[in-house]
Amino acid sequence: MRCLRRLLLVSLGVTAWALHESDVGVVDWNTKLIGVPLHGSPHTAPVFHGDYILTATGNNVLAALNATDGSIVWRSIYDAEDPIMAFSHHDNSVSSLSGPGGSTFRTYDLETGHLMLEKQLHSPLDGRLHEPQNLGISLLRSADSSLNSTSFFTLTNGDSVTHLDHETGETKWTWNSPDQGSLVMYSHVIAHPSTVYVVGFAKSFASYTLHVTTLSATTGEVIASVNIPANIKDGLSEFLAFSSSPGPTTTACIAWLEDGALKAALLTPDLKGKVLGLPGVKYDRIRDFGLSTNGQFLAITTGGAAHVMHLDPQTSSLRPIWEFGDVAPSKSRSDSHFVGSLSRNGEPRVARVYWSNVHSKAVHETLAIQLSEGKGSVSGFAFPFQTLDHGVVRHVAFDGASTGETHENSRVLLTTTTGSIQLWQHDKMQWVREEALASIQVAEFVELPEKKIVTSHTAVDEEGYFERLQRQLSDAKNLPKYLANFARRFATGSYATVSASAASSSAEDTLTRDAFGFRQIIVAATSHGKLFGIDSSNGQVLWSRVLGLGWAAKVGGTIIPVKMFVTRTVSDAEGPQIVLVTQRRADNTLIDTVLFHVNALTGEDVREEDLSTSRHALEGFDAVQGPLIDVYMLPSENRTIVMLDEYLQVRLYPETASSLAEFESFAPSIHLALRAGAPGLRQILGHQVGLNHELSQFYVAYPTWTMSLPQHEEIHAIVPNTRGPIASIGNVIGNRATLYKYLNPHLTIVLTSSPPSRTCGIYVLDVVKGSVIYHVSVPAAGGVCDVQATLTENWLVYQYFDDELPGVGQSKGYRVVSVEFYEGNGPDDKTKSSELSSYSNKTLQVTAYEQAFIMPHGITAMSPTSTKFGISTKDIIVANRKNSIQSIPRRLLNPRRPKQKPTSEEQEEMLVQYDAVLPDDARLVLSHNYEVANVRRIVTSPSLLESTSLVFVYGLDLFFTRIAPSGTFDVLSENFNKVQLVLTVAGLGIAIMVTKPMVRRKMLRERWYQ
């Protein structure tokens, strides 16, 4: 019976227009991403392995890309609490260490990405985090025949070495440092046929010294443990461990800088080797550029030259085998990126890539080293890297196996500051992946203009009287053709339909909207300093712009998007425009608020007067010299942006006389809820904006009320109310009474956390006077407040994980709570909340209907649907931890669902019986079989159809679709019989024409008889 009841519930509750399998890829699209590579560490940076590119990314993804076309071969998404520390590849497998201190070891199949082995090396709670967090982590696979070809040696927590069997995961032995990392932090492990060298550094009073421990490769017993006197200022950049190429004379070595002198120590099992030095040359830094297991590393001299150093296993000597000239950055070139790889025959290849300001191109040089002959040669070429579109090169990966006698097949992979990954083969770019889209911070929909509006700007406004007369005569001449086309389309039904793709069928480049407004531009800003314009019909990038740093370009910095506002729409003469509000964090710790004003159709800078100049990075407007507290846009014709700085002074954009006058008229009605001081304080201050008469050019906010939270309860987030058009202010129930919606426009959600009590607080506040309309405390799973909440009109929905249910006989799980607010104390009690003054006591006369439901999966983001006039039912779109997008109809979340069999009055109201478990029905899933991972936000936008809402989802992946919560009631179905309609109307017309004279004669005869 329970299953039958759920089936009936779903059939009654699913009123939304569901996407069919045939609609996949037509009315929706999905973009799978991996994120920007973690190029800061050689343990996670991109590497070539045959025709694969392996990398770990900032989105905590381990992925393999096809080097030929850039497609994703496979990817493994790690949990947030399980960060990737290192990975290693060999033959047909890829292995990784992840978690705090490298707690988890995994192995994947190279071609399929299938997980072959997973083993926990230590508890994640025992992991010690360091800065950087992958310090003390190392993963080495031994391919020596005297060992096991499937042996792995892992260094975790900076103090433990584990010998693993690759296929079975069996732990052969584990060695733990006696001091548990308190004195020595181990950072490298080198495996030889009989000996394992564990190398690290120890902190002394003023510098670092080196420490080496040798272990038996068979048993893990300690052979020797020695301190090597050294005077290292920076243990991360002035020290490295390496070994010569595998073979019978394999030699391990460590090198370090001591007061500018390069020193090296050859390692033997008994650690009685000698220390080598290179007198006469001063070095600034040394680094591993990918050939440390082949005996080579890079040393940069104080004069700016780069020496390729080589460890010769035959003579046990360390010497420079090549010198690159002046590699220091200058006016003519940028800093150089060096990367090493092996050719097909095992010879070392060194690639150098830098930007040439003289040629405005990137330069690629390749050093081919013939160790057997003791010589090398350098050749190079330039390639047209577009730095104005992709920023600066941050990392280079080199495929040494692609090099030959010529450079035509040489391949390099570039990772840029804007988050793009590019593969270049010689001087031609083969493909590019905009992985910055995996880090979108803010995004908004922008409507496209109609085609006739676009053409009118270019032709109609400039034509004279005779040109206009000629155009009108030409249109009249084509009128019969237009009528014939209309009749044919009407009879055949060849109109645009809601299930048709919104992509423009025209070959023109002009951006115009489709018949129903499904095609729009999604403007998205990323954390990597790039702004994108995306076509909502197919997901293609229409334009992109690099966000300039302004004066901070000299010292370095980052642009952090905060909010985005659509300041002009298609109805404005200037066309659609957006303003992006950002925080610029310079490397010298200064923080400024910068605005970027952009044409949404082209990406051009609206503030730039001369657009004929060469394309360059967008330069923003420094609006506030300091951090931003809050920002919003006035609901006025000018769409003025209001910014609140750290001193609670208001800055306007644009700062014009009309904007000032407009803001002054709105000031008495502006109320804000802000944290009292820095984040973490237990107070919320209500502010009303007013005019400072002493400094009339500034508007200053002052507190009107203070709300103090309970002890140990801290503010977690402030979520504003999602407001839109409202078609109805009441809800008629079954007994003909009316529940009037509580439509207070000043409601705001405040989420709090209380770590000692392991609870999260949810407050719904009236920000005008600080009244608490609704409050509840829910459990914090694992002591972390992961509450998702949304408030639209009079409807509050929030989700949490309930793990504390003692004595109630319920299981742990995810709870979704639906709360509806109505005016007064019951039905027919009307207080006119939307018109009521916030200072009236009647604002507290609220009735809340509340009901909790169980969700099968956790929710990472939620948002209500939005339509043009607010007539359609609002559904909740959620992204769950199953990596799918789901629609929950409002009828299923109705808190007034009866817990018994519905009465006749409740059936009239179309209420269905309450079931604690929300159905996990495939018909509610909008993303079909798409994997939409790690969703951070869901953005909805109305289309021209009142029935249809557009949905854009971003996180690691991008997803777009459209949904009709109340069905497409404003559009005829695709199989509607238009011919039958015409014949019916025509038949009725003929019947009227025939019967009308008959009725007239009858009425005339009746009058004669009267």
pLDDT (tens digit per residue) in 750-759: 998 888 878 8
Cβ distance 268 to 244 under 8 Å?
Answer: no
Length of the chain as a residue count:
1010
For the cut 90, the answer to whether the pLDDT of residue 616 exceeds it is no
Degrees (nearest 5) of the Cα angle 59, 60, 62?
A: 115
Q: How confident is residue 617, by pLDDT bands cut at 50, 70 and 90?
A: confident
For the cut 50, the answer to whether the pLDDT of residue 424 exceeds it is yes
Percent of the chain residues past pLDDT 70, beyond the cut: 84
**Reduced to 3 states, what is the DSSP secondary structure of residue 822?**
strand
More confident residue, 609 or 48: 48
Task: Give the predicted TM-score (pTM) of the model.
Answer: 0.89
User: Which long-range CB contacts under 8 A does 801-808 form with residues at least 24 apart?
Assistant: 801/858, 802/778, 803/779, 804/758, 804/779
For the cut 90, the answer to whether the pLDDT of residue 228 exceeds it is no
Q: How confident is residue 21, by pLDDT bands cut at 50, 70 and 90?
A: low
Which is nearest to 715 in space by CA: 676, 689, 668, 744? 676
More confident residue, 498 or 369: 369
For the cut 70, the answer to whether the pLDDT of residue 150 exceeds it is no
Cβ distance 822 to 846 under 8 Å?
Answer: yes
CA gap 316, 309 in Å, rounded:
13
Q: In this predicted structure, what is the pLDDT of residue 1002?
A: 86
Percent of the chain residues past pLDDT 90, beyond the cut: 44
Q: How confident is residue 874, by pLDDT bands cut at 50, 70 and 90?
A: very high
CB atoms within 10 A of CB 320: 16
Identity of the residue numbered 287: R
Q: In this predicted structure, what is the pLDDT of residue 40?
A: 87
For the cut 50, the answer to whether the pLDDT of residue 17 exceeds it is no
Cβ distance 767 to 686 under 8 Å?
Answer: yes
Cβ distance 73 to 61 under 8 Å?
Answer: no
- 789-811 per-position pLDDT tens digit: 999 989 999 999 987 644 444 56
Q: In this predicted structure, what is the pLDDT of residue 921?
A: 86
Domain layout of the chain by residue ranges: 1-28+865-937+951-976, 177-327, 639-708, 711-855, 977-1010
Q: What is the mean pLDDT of the chain?
A: 84
SS3 per-residue string spanning 29-91? EEECCCCCECCCCCCCCCEEECCEEEEEECCCEEEEEECCCCCEEEEEECCCCCCEEEEEEEC
Name beta bridge partners: 410: none
For the cut 60, the answer to whether the pLDDT of residue 848 exceeds it is yes
- 465-520 per-position pLDDT tens digit: 666 666 666 666 666 666 666 565 555 554 556 666 665 544 445 788 888 889 99
Which is nearest to 78 in space by CA: 143, 42, 124? 124
Cα-Cα-Cα-Cα dihedral of 597, 600, 604, 605, to 10°? -10
CA gap 487, 476 in Å, rounded:
17
Degrees (nearest 5) of the Cα angle 192, 194, 198?
A: 55
Q: In this predicted structure, what is the pLDDT of residue 235?
A: 66
For range 702-726, the mean pLDDT? 80
For range 219-232, the mean pLDDT? 89
Q: Which range (245-249, 772-776, 1002-1006) has the least confidence?
A: 245-249
For range 879-901, the mean pLDDT? 94
Cβ distance 762 to 787 under 8 Å?
Answer: yes
Number of H helices, E strands in the chain: 8, 63
For the cut 90, the answer to whether the pLDDT of residue 875 exceeds it is yes
For range 859-874, the mean pLDDT? 93
For the cut 60, the answer to whether the pLDDT of residue 576 exceeds it is yes
Residue position matching structure tokens 């249910």: 805
Q: In this predicted structure, what is the pLDDT of residue 142?
A: 67
Name beta bridge partners: 413: 397, 423
CA gap 765, 705 in Å, rounded:
12
Q: In this predicted structure, what is the pLDDT of residue 65?
A: 97
In this structure, which CATH number among 2.40.128, 1.10.10, 3.30.43, 2.30.170 belongs to the domain 177-327? 2.40.128
Q: In this predicted structure, what is the pLDDT of residue 695?
A: 43
CA gap 751, 460 in Å, rounded:
54
- 276-328 per-position pLDDT tens digit: 777 778 998 899 999 988 889 999 998 889 999 988 777 777 888 889 988 88
What spatial distance separates the first Cα and last Cα of the chain, rounded to whole Å?
71
Which residues contact residue 988 at a Cβ distance below 8 angstroms, ignoring those fewer than 6 apart?
none
Q: In this predicted structure, what is the pLDDT of residue 505?
A: 45
Q: In this predicted structure, what is the pLDDT of residue 678?
A: 45
> How far does CA 654 lie from the centroid of its chain?
30
- 926-935 per-position pLDDT tens digit: 998 899 999 9
Name beta bridge partners: 227: 211
More confident residue, 1007 or 964: 964
